[in-house]
């Protein structure tokens, strides 16, 4: 057995046993992950516009390996232990100085790789790690998200103040002023987008899989996208952290394995040291999903642009209807969320635009000058 993997395995057992001392278990979830970080700049920005100091801050490095254990005690309190098997590469290597972190109702501890305590911060809210009894029974398995009745999910989001749009009874989008939630029941994807004054601040997306043996839904890959500004160049940039689950295990109160998926040794193939370099991608701005149809300019003389709501983006029929209810101009099989129409031939007056997709239909009014 690979010596590095053996160290991870021993570390996992030590952490597991130390967490169980003096407390009966109700649930244990532990998993191995590796996280890669990617950087990107807007597509309109060239790399040579970026200050050298800012470029250094975006140097790619080897993936971060984490072994995480989530332990629920008999009194429903959660303790999370995260171990970092990667040792410091040189003196004062602050990135890999931490050997282990423990989060609990008592506080947060930080230890080095020799087990010495580096820091401790007490927890002010003792109930912040208290898990509801109904949640603790299925903790670590996410079937409740994707196997819930679709219409019930729509109802719950609506009650929470979201405008909900559904498609084929297996895909829904909830939108309010600050966030967008997407649940893809067919492909086991859960995504949240956070906005501030219409500007995207963060995306959290989790891809789940269903195990073949027991049909349990567990996480497979998490992607977090954030945005910041380079301090010297004053240029916006995007940070993408992609966490992949190499191994995932859930045990019940009797220590019996409920779910065991993956191979912890796979993580070794992804943890090979890679040469430091700068690999900047480019990204396009992501706008908040449009919920309404917009027509501009309005009034118009020669041409109008129609921006369709996000849920109408394929095989849309567009009809221009006069005040007599007669369709005087139409466009069929429209794809995408924006279309331009030449209205030069229309006589001056008020018109209705009707857009139809499947059984959904929306209208707007414009004036031809």
Domain ranges in the chain are 3-141+216-283, 294-368
Each of the 369 residues of the chain gets a pLDDT tens digit; together they read: 343 333 334 334 334 433 444 456 689 999 999 899 999 999 898 888 988 888 888 876 778 889 999 999 989 999 999 999 888 877 777 778 899 999 999 999 999 999 999 999 999 887 889 998 888 888 999 998 898 888 899 999 999 999 998 877 889 999 998 999 999 999 999 999 999 988 899 999 999 999 988 899 999 999 999 999 999 889 999 999 999 999 999 998 888 999 999 876 655 454 445 455 667 888 888 888 888 889 999 999 889 998 888 888 778 899 999 988 999 998 888 888 888 999 999 999 999 999 998 878 889 999 998
pLDDT given for residue 277 in this prediction: 60
SS3 19: helix
The sign of the CA dihedral 321, 326, 330, 334 is: positive
Q: Which of 235, 271, 265 is nearest to 247 (CA)?
A: 265
> Which residue shows structure tokens 């005690």?
73
Query: Does domain 294-368 bear CATH number 2.60.40.10?
Result: yes
Q: Which of 69, 65, 67, 66 is nearest to 16 (CA)?
A: 69
Find residue 221's DSSP bridge partners. Answer: 207, 244
- Give how far Cα 180 sits from Cα of 163, 164, 290, 331, Å: 9, 10, 11, 30
DSSP secondary structure string for all residues of 118-150: EEEEE-S-GGGGBPPHHHHTTTT--HHHHSS-H
The sign of the CA dihedral 143, 144, 150, 154 is: negative
Quick check: pTM over 0.85?
no
pLDDT given for residue 278 in this prediction: 61
Residues 6+ apart with CB under 8 A from 87: 96, 113
């Amino acid at each position: 057995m690979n010596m590095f993997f053996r160290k991870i395995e021993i570390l996992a057992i030590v952490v597991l046993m130390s967490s169980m001392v003096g407390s009966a278990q109700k649930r244990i979830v532990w998993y191995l992950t590796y996280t890669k970080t990617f950087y990107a700049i807007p597509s309109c920005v060239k790399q040579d516009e970026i200050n050298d100091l800012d470029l250094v801050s975006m140097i790619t490095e080897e993936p971060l390996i984490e072994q995480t254990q989530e332990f629920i005690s008999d009194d429903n309190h959660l303790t999370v232990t995260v171990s970092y098997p990667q040792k410091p590469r040189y003196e004062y290597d602050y990135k890999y100085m931490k050997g282990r972190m423990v989060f609990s109702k008592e506080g947060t501890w930080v230890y080095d790789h020799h087990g010495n305590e580096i820091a401790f911060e007490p927890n002010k809210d003792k109930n912040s790690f208290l898990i509801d009894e109904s949640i603790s029974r299925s903790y670590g398995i996410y079937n409740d998200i994707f196997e819930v009745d679709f219409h019930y999910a729509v109802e719950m989001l609506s009650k929470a103040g979201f405008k909900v749009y559904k498609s084929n009874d297996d895909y829904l989008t909830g939108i309010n002023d600050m966030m967008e939630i997407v649940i893809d029941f067919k492909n086991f994807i859960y995504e949240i987008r956070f906005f501030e004054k219409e500007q995207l601040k963060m995306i959290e997306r989790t891809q789940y899989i269903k195990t073949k043996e027991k049909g349990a839904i567990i996480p497979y890959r998490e992607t977090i996208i954030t945005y910041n500004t380079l301090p010297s160049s004053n240029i916006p940039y995007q940070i993408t952290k992609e966490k992949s689950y190499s191994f995932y295990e859930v045990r019940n109160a009797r220590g019996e394995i409920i779910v065991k998926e993956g191979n912890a040794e796979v993580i070794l193939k992804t943890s090979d040291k890679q040469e430091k370099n700068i690999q900047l991608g480019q990204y396009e701005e992501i706008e908040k999903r449009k919920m309404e149809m917009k027509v501009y300019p309005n009034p118009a003389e020669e041409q109008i642009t129609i921006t369709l709501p996000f849920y109408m983006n394929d095989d849309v029929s567009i009809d221009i209807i006069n005040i007599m209810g007669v369709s005087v101009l139409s466009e069929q099989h429209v794809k995408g969320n924006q279309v331009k129409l030449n209205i030069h031939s229309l006589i001056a007056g008020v018109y209705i635009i009707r857009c139809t997709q499947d059984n959904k239909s929306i209208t707007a009014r414009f004036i031809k000058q």
